[in-house]
Amino acid sequence: MSTLPPKSVWRDGDVIKIQWLDDAPNYPGNHTTSLSIATLRSLLKHGNANTWPSYAPSPRKAWEAEEYAQFSDFDYEAYMNDDQVLSQALTQLHTHGLLFVSNVPESETSVSTIGERIGPIKNTFYGYTWDVRSVPKAKNVAYTSQDLGFHMDLLYMEQPPQIQLLHCIRSSSSGGASLFTDSYKAAADLLAADVDTFKTLVDVEASFHYNHPDSNLYHQSRPVFEVLEKDYRQTFRALYNDKPVNILDYLTAVNWSPPFQAPFAVKPRHRQQQSKTEVLGPLNSRVADWHKAAQQFNALVHRPSGIYERLMKPGECVIFDNRRVLHARKAFEAGDAGKERWLRGAYLDKDPYLSKMRVLHGAAK
């Protein structure tokens, strides 16, 4: 990279201006570079221009059902038209991972309208938006009237959606309540009870798949608990014994989706380099440790005190963090065709969600 020597430098109020002796190609002869003094100070102090508005989101808060029940719904019109209300909604989504919007218009496009208020919808093989209702010969248990256990969506993809929206267009005459629980609360309680068990769910990867060779084949492996720093994996016991850790500061995602979990498998490089005994012995040990740890986590997930139950009514939309909040559904009566429980859903990625929070924070300053 060449160095451009300055021809002249002067100060104009809070801005330093520079004209160059031999400017970059295609710039006019009178081209002037302007740098604020604040930017230069930031470069000296932090090593970057720091042109983004400073933003430190509120700390995450673990919750149980009784605490979450104290939250009020957000009104659709206020959510759509008032940036302050949207900022409050996204703050709650960050701190607790769950919110509800009420008085939503009865339209198949409402869920995309609500999602696009935050950012672009994530398109998947399910579609730009998609229906959750009972269909004949369903490939996915979500499209039946059966009980659906706690899970997260699309963990078999390389980039699972961060945010999920479900708009209730029609409710069933009997059953079909939606269930939500905070996996971060369960993770924090597991760490407090048994550091080694927690560490197993950080170190041992489980596999998730969508295995339909006639249409879609997806497969990914990831640990149940994703943490912020790699070196943190080796220091759970030391950190916890020295000073109890607030794991909510370190967790970046939880991966839990039993309906879509794939068998454990040996990685190809291990199959080629080691004998069957050398490969299967350690694998069986890791799988046994994982199942024992997973059973403990599953028990915490299913504590009644942590499960927020809500029979969603037409005109309500839930928005939740798909990498934190587990969702489930009680069985319902399918009913007559055209009268069954009907939710319409959409996904968003993490980037537009974080971007919108930063923008709203900057606008409020």
- Residue given tokens 């249409």 in the structure block: 215
DSSP structure class, residue 142? G
Residue 239 has a pLDDT of 56
Amino acid occupying residue 295 = Q
The predicted structure's pLDDT at residue 128: 97
Predicted local distance difference test score (pLDDT) of residue 136: 47
Mean pLDDT by 10 residues, the chain (365 residues): 78 90 77 87 69 74 98 99 98 98 97 98 97 62 67 98 97 80 97 91 94 92 86 56 71 96 72 58 84 98 98 97 96 60 94 95 73
How far is it, in rounded angstroms, from Cα 81 to Cα 114? 11
Query: DSSP letter at 202?
Result: H
Amino acid 104 reads V
Model pLDDT, residue 59: 92
HSE-CB at 29 with a 13 A cutoff on CA atoms is 0
| Cα gap 346→100, rounded to integer Å | 14
**Nearest CA to 169 among 100, 109, 89, 79?**
109
pLDDT of residue 137: 52
Residue 345 confidence (pLDDT): 98
CB 166 within 8 Å of CB 153? no
Please tell me whether the overall predicted TM-score, pTM, comes out greater than 0.75 for this model.
yes
Longest Cα–Cα distance of the chain, Å, equals 81
Q: Where do the DSSP E strands lie in the chain?
A: 6-12, 15-20, 33-36, 74-75, 98-102, 130-132, 148-151, 163-170, 178-182, 205-212, 216-223, 225-227, 251-254, 261-262, 308-310, 317-321, 325-329, 342-348
pLDDT value of position 7 = 86
Q: What does the pLDDT read at residue 276?
A: 59
Amino acid 145: pLDDT: 60
Distances (CA, A) of 124 to 127, 144, 319, 324: 5, 20, 18, 20
Tell me the torsion sign for CA atoms 199, 200, 205, 211.
negative
Around 134, how many Cα atoms within 13 Å sit in the side-chain half-sphere? 21
Per-domain residue ranges for the chain? Answer: 6-46, 58-365
Burial 278-315 (b: 16+ CB within 10 A, else e): ebeeeeeeeeebbeebbebbeebbbeeebbbebebeeb
φ, ψ for residue 146 (rounded to 5)? -75, 165
CB 208 within 8 A of CB 220: yes
Query: What is the predicted pLDDT for the residue at 278?
Result: 59
DSSP letter for each residue of 8-53: EEEEETTEEEEEESSPPTT--TT--EEEEHHHHHHHHHHSS---SP
* Among candidate residues 265, 262, 302, the one with its CA nearest the CA of residue 283: 265
**What's domain 58-365's superfamily in CATH?**
Clavaminate synthase-like (3.60.130.10)
pLDDT, position 245:
66
